Amino acid sequence: MQTEGTRLLRRSDIESLLSLRDCIDAVDEIFRLQGEGKVPAPGILGVRATGGGLHVKAGLLPGNRNYLVAKLNANFPANNARFGLPTIQGVIVVFDAENGAPLAILDSIDITIKRTAAASAVAAKYLARKDSSVATICGCGQQGRAQLRAVLLILPLTKIYAFDLDEPAAINYRNELSPELKIDIELVRDLPSAIQKSDVCITCTTANKSFVCKEDVSPGTFIAAVGADNEDKQEIDSALIASAKVVADSLEQSCAIGDVHHAIAHGLMRKEDVYAELCEIVAGQKIGRVADDEIIVFDSTGIAIEDAVAAAAVYERALADGIGTDFDFAA
């Protein structure tokens, strides 16, 4: 279906057009297609600035109609404290892959939040123990909320430990999500003790120094390391990364900017020591969890195909439902 001009979609539009369940299913499917060699490798470009930076991720999405999708996200960790703005702000542009016409411009915040959480949920589906019941969530912002909502769609969790250096943020997290999700959320200050009692640990912070240590992780734990999306960020101790089974969303990105990057820089592992990319697991080319006592780390740096499949789904639903505003660049 061809729309007139370019469809402009605001954040409020996207929230109503893309559910977490649909996003998880779409990300699962695109990882399978990538593992089968049906999706070309995406690209990424980063530019640093004082206090943050801009990264551009682009990918080609095949289907009944092919799309080229590019996301431009500005990431400034101190934004909330300094300006009252979100850490991440940006736009996603959807192009027709046949002729390059710009089909849509979308606010990126909701898509980034949901596709990041969806990737962790897909990883948990294949890598966490099926009977996982206790999880620790590190980081009680919007991403921490989405991560919990997403993983609850995959695993039978009954107990959540929530940790954040900002205590009011943690309190708001518990007060909002515990009644909404009907799950016991306990705020913790002793993070090592909480992790030791957990089957799952999800880290979604802006930390630049590791805080999840090898000695604090029990056998069988699944860790989704989400926060390290540039070379200065780190959440997982390099000794833990080097000793665990590591699955990356993108091998190249994990070795360049993820938690794996730090373990390699410290001489504790090599690129070849990364067990698999998630797409290989989803496509059945490699086995995910093979034993209940394996410690598995998903190094999630965020890749363009996740943005592409989510943005394309939003665009097509917006056309079908008549949501958004059309404008013409050439007018």
Catalytic residue numbers, as ranges = 71
Length of the chain: 331
Token pair belonging to 259: 């938690």
- Beta bridge mates, 160: 135, 185
Q: How far apart are CA 122 and CA 294, in angstroms?
A: 18
Residue 87 three-state SS: coil
Phi, psi of 297, deg, nearest 5 = -115, 125
The set of residues, in sequence order, having a beta carbon less than 8 Å from that of 254 and lying 6+ positions away, is 246, 248, 260, 261, 274, 299, 301
Q: What is the Cα gyration radius of the chain?
A: 19
Q: How far apart are CA 94 and CA 67, in angstroms?
A: 7
| CA neighbor of 101 nearest in space, from 307, 315, 305, 304 | 315
Token pair belonging to 323: 């949501």
